[in-house]
Structures are given as structure tokens and as C-alpha cells.
Amino acid sequence: MRRRQFIGVIGGAVSWALTARAQQQKQRLIGVLMATSEDDPDSRDRFNAFRQALSEADWAEGRTLRIESRWISGDPERARSYAAELVDLNPDVILANTALALQPLRQIAGPIPLVFVLVYDPVTSGFVASLARPGGNITGFTLGEFSYGGKMVETLKGVAAEVNHIGVLMNPDQRPHVEMWRAIEDVGPSFKLRLTALHVRSPADLEPEIKTFAGEPNRALVVLPSPITEVHRKQVVTLAAQQRLPAVYGFRSFVMSGGLVSFGIDTTDAFRRSAVYVARILNGAKPAELPVEHPAKVELVLNLSAAKALGLTVPQVMVARADEVIE
């Protein structure tokens, strides 16, 4: 072979190898629609846990992966706007945090795979056909069943036995809240409870609803998980304390902010697990083939300092049941 031909063959081989390597290293794009606020430390921890888990699955930001995130801050209008922005980027997959983020994405994402996290009962909510066989382009990780509403009441009564009237902080426009309210109504008679729905459609509703409900003894709050209450959890916790209302929350972060007790899942773990599904989709898996998964763990977190401030003596059986006790 002549020298010029040999150099041409070698040059062609090198060029092919570099092209193949470039294709292998081509960055994939992930969209993330977060329901809460970017300046919230707990939300950032969840997001960073998701990113770390992707890295551990060999999808490294800046090398094989780019992430575009948008933060809704509990605003439905912002959810619709940011969902459209992410879909316009045509990402390989989108992570949707809560039903507030998933609903607008479901309507406009077309074939783009969607992985949800922190969504109650996605079958009843109409997001997937079944847990075992989601169908379509959506799968993910649930917050649990609507029956958690009743279990939150049970937890609250275990900590504050004298309570006989419970106000349920909920958004009547969110189907998961409506279904959880029904679950609470189902257990109410067994605890001889009077129940009042406190409607919170926007942050402006928090203070008047809580203050209007307060004022009589033996009243308490069930704060259903939502982006609005989570973004404004310090305000909710402070109002509950000021009005001397024992309250149960769906997330540990409320108790860490001074709340009384929480019953719910480990949200950071849910974000880690969602990264595994996103990685599998990037590697070729179809959402329809990935079953929707339930929480790996439900935790009860108790704040004895908050209980003392409310004049409550928490039964030892509840202290023993708690996964974490804050003194």
C-alpha cells in the first residue's frame, strides 16, 4: 500500500473512532419540574439527591448529561408555563415533582417519557392505567394511598388524645386532596371527631382559614401535603403554634421547622429512586414497562419540644413508635 493511501486509511479510521466516541459522549437532556421553591433547603436536598443518584448510574452532568430545571413555587399558572418551556426543549425524559407538575406535562408532553415523584394514587388520579402496567409514557413513584389521610388523623389522635374537632387544610381543586378528605371522613366517626374542611387554593388563604378555625379548645389541624403548604411551611407551623393547634403534617420537613408530628414517606429517598428510572429510560427502557412503585418507607417524626409548648403530654407508646424524636 502506498504511503498516501496508508495515511488516508489511518486518518479515516481515526476520524470514525472520534465520531463514534463523540456520539457515545453526546449529552442527553433531562427536564425537571419541581413543585416547590428553589431557595428551599429541603427541596434542594431532594433535587441534589436525584442528581447524585444519576451520577452513580453513570450519567454525569456536564459530560453525558444536561439538566434543565424549573421551580413552580406552588403556583398552578407557573406550572403550566414552565411545563411548556420544558416540553419545547424536547428533552429525553422529564421528572415531574407532584401532581401539580405532572398534570400540565401530561397534557402537552406527547411522546416524551415522564417520571413522576410524590404523587398520590396515580391510578385513581388518572395518570396511569395500573401500577403494574402503567401504559403510555408515564411511570414513577407514589406518595402512597389516599388512606394516608386517615392514618394522619390516627397519628394526631395518638399524640393529642383530647382533640375532638379537626380542621383539614386542603385544596378542593386537587383530586388527591378530595380523595384524602373522604378517607378522613371514613375514620372520623371511629374517633368521635367533628371535621371541617379548610380550603386553601393560594397562600393568601392560609392565615384566614387557620385563624377562623382556631379559638375553641380541643381543636387541631391535619395539613395535607401540597406545594402551597410546603413552600409556606414556616408560616403554617408558626400559625398553628400561635393559635395553639396541634397539627400533623405529611412531611418530616414541617417537624424540623417546629411542627408537632409528621406521618409520611422519606421524600429524599423517593427522589433517589426516581433517578434510577430516569437512567433506565435513558438506557432504552420504556415507561410503560416500568411498574409504578410505592414508598420504600413511611416514617413518623415527633417533636417533643413542640408538644411541651402546646401543653401536651405525649403517650410513651407514641414516642416508642416514632422513627425520629426531636427533644
Q: What is the pLDDT of residues 215-258, one digit of tens each?
A: 899 999 999 999 999 999 999 999 999 999 999 999 999 999 99
The DSSP output letter for 114 is: E
- Reduced to 3 states, what is the DSSP secondary structure of residue 159? helix
For a pLDDT cut of 90, what percent of the chain falls above it? Answer: 85
Q: Which CATH code for domain 26-144+267-297?
A: 3.40.50.2300
**pLDDT for position 283:** 96
The C-alpha atoms of residue 17 and residue 147 are separated, in whole angstroms, by 56
Residue range 162-179, pLDDT digits in tens? 999 999 999 998 888 999
Q: Is the per-residue pLDDT at 16 higher than 80?
A: no
Mean pLDDT across the chain:
91
Query: Which residue blocks in the chain are alpha helix, DSSP H?
Result: 3-24, 41-56, 76-88, 99-108, 148-159, 175-187, 206-213, 227-231, 233-242, 252-256, 267-282, 304-309, 316-321
pLDDT band at 125 (very low <50, low <70, confident <90, very high): confident
In angstroms, the CA 94 to CA 102 distance is: 10
The confidence score (pLDDT) of residue 124 equals 86
CB 89 within 8 A of CB 29: yes
User: Taking the domain 148-265+299-326, which CATH number applies?
Assistant: 3.40.50.2300
The predicted model gives 52-61 an average pLDDT of 95
What pLDDT sits at residue 25? 55
What are the residue ranges spanned by the domains of the chain? 26-144+267-297, 148-265+299-326
C-alpha cell at 114: 415522564
Q: Name the helix (H) or strand (E) containing 33.
A: strand 28-34
pLDDT of residue 175: 86
102-133 in b/e burial notation, b at 16+ Cβ within 10 A?
A: bbbbbeebeebbbbbbbbbbbeebebbeeeee
Higher pLDDT, 71 or 19: 71
Q: Which residue has the higher pLDDT, 59 or 17?
A: 59
- The residue-averaged pLDDT of 93-101 equals 96
pTM: 0.86
Residues of the chain with pLDDT > 70: what percent? 92
- Given a cut of 60, whether residue 18 has pLDDT beyond it is no
User: What angle is formed at CA 188 by the lines to CA 324 and CA 166, rounded to 5 degrees?
Assistant: 65
Pairwise CA distance, residues 108 & 67, whole Å:
20
| Maximal CA-CA distance, the chain | 99
Query: Per this entry, what is the length of the chain?
Result: 327
Count of other CB atoms within 10 angstroms of residue 147: 16
Whether the domain at 26-144+267-297 and the domain at 148-265+299-326 fall into the same CATH topology = yes
